[in-house]
Structure 1
Amino acid sequence: MACPINTEDIGKLKIFIEFVSTQPSILNLPQLGFFKKFVEQLGGKVPEANFQHNAGAKTEAKEEKEFETKMEDPEPESDIELELLDTIIEGDADPLQEMGEDEKMPTDDEVDQASEFRGKGAASYSDGEYEDAINFYTQAILLNPTHALFYAKRAQAFIKLCKPNAAIRDCDRALHLNPDNAAAYKFRGRANRLLGNWEAAAKDLRQACKLDYDDETDDWLKEVTPNAKKIELHNIKQERKKAEMEDEARRERVRKAQEANKKAAEENEKKQYSSSDDDFMSSLGPDVMEAFNDPEVAAALQDVMSNPANIMKYQNNPKVMNLLKKFAGATGGFPGGIPGMGGMGGFPTFPSAQTTTPNHPKSNSKPKEEYDDGLD
């Protein structure tokens, strides 16, 4: 089953999904509410954090706009050195020619009459009476609009009168009736050549030669091929350049989104640490907080935090030891360190704390008796 979404739209969707994967909070924007609802219906969960535009948002938007403008303004075809430009003619703007009734099914008599008009049209064309030839072919078409060759032959006469647009319309109709009509490809190719549509001309003339080769068609194909190849190569180059630019822009958007996401995560982490520090400090009590204003006590605390073994230096300083005991009480003995004060491990037992000598079990061994080896 063919995908109902074109390749360009799929590419844009891919870029959007890649961006959202790095900044999922963007789905909280009101404009993307429909997509957030879709994600949640599938069982997904969108972070509650609000999406914040960074300070360079306007600059990024401007860069994006410049990129889009650049994408829409590729190198013009006029920069290609083409040949035969002086032989291009202006397209005709005559009223649409009669095409006959789409649903008409001709009778046998009408088929015969149409063939007679076709013969008269061919004769007029051979005599150079192209207007008459067009009129006769038109009569044949009105009687039998199901015959593809009538349209192709009328297109041939339109080309002689330098009316390529009318010829293209007839050839389109002929190919609608018969997709393998070589004459229709041939004359549509010639009409496109007169209009300077080199690629379209080459494509039709190649197909005409493939279906029913003739020297005239081959000569026309050789005439348009150089210009067609130049344009084809130019277009390939432009498509490759466009793809590279799109890929570069996509990578840049993802990079910026990742940087913004990283910055937001770092800021959120800082806020969490700050909140943890505030909660910890508020739990110490006013007397402990007041003690921090004493430079001696603050320096001692910092010294002990850097190396818990340094507490022995302050065992005879009651001011410091009292603070440390209060500090230990507030933090439960400093298990695993203090929030916001990295490097603080468990404190050794305070020297001023009451300690008991451990009771060692009595030995059941008897005193060692003197041993007389009887050598004296």
Structure 2
Amino acid sequence: MKEMTDEQLSLLKQFVLMCKANPGLLHQPQYAFYREYLERQTDETFEENQEEEKESDLPLPELDNSGVIEDKTCGEEYAMGDPEKEVSDEDMEKAQEHRQAAQMAFADGDYEKSVEEYTKAIEFNPGLAILHAKRASLLGNWAEAHLDLALSCKLDYDDQANEWLKEVEPNAKKLHDYQRAKERLADEKETRARQERVRRAQEENKRAAEENKQKYGEDSDDFDGDVPPGLFESFKNNPELAKIMEELKKDPSKIGQYLNDPNVLNLIGMMGGKGGGGFNPNAFNMPTGDTDDSTPFKQEPPKKAPEPDLD
């Protein structure tokens, strides 16, 4: 589709300003097409908003947040330790000391102190997954805690880690199910949107076909199969061409008059190959050369003059 010229854009802006100044203008019959367009856009926007509200209505699961720091700073980052660090025996001993201090603070209900001690333990031994897991559970990061604890039990089983794994598993499962439900809703929304795009495209094609039929008459049904791309556009840009094609349809023998017209030949090629191919005689009820009617289209070889007898 061609872009609008500056003059066309200027006229469109003036028309919109007129509609703003006088909304009743859109109710006049000659502007019905624009009113229908605006109404359709409004309906589509409303439907999209309804879908977004439906998705946002998915309630968060109820989690057991006992033992979680409720007033922790949103987005606060905690030290993760150097994953490349070579842990010495001394580092392991210090990490164990801070781990025990964290457990004591947790037992006393001092969850912030417990997080601090686990963070210090992580700095000394960053590769110990159970330290990350317990701190994650204190921060309410249940999915991360479950992943770390499960990995810890798999690599080096520990009764304490297994016990903590069972504690965080219910919340982790709820969050996992919630995430899957969100993804399912998103997939369903995308599927509906894709189906809606297909439906609109089909409606636009149907509307365009009906408009072409009304504009060019019932003769638009005389072509075999689908109408070649660009056929009606050619008629629209060159009304004289439409008259020529109608004339050829009524009297195919006149085609010889237009064999030097590239526009006619190009259009015949479109009709013959649905956009690329040979000429289709059936589109004009023209003879094919298989019957006696094809005589005007047969070319006999030129008769040669008798050669003199040189003998």
Q: What's the TM-score once normalised by structure 2's chain length?
A: 0.46
TM-score under structure 1 length normalisation: 0.39
Asked which structure has the greater RCO (Cα within 8 Å, sep 6+), the reply is: 1
Larger radius of gyration: 1
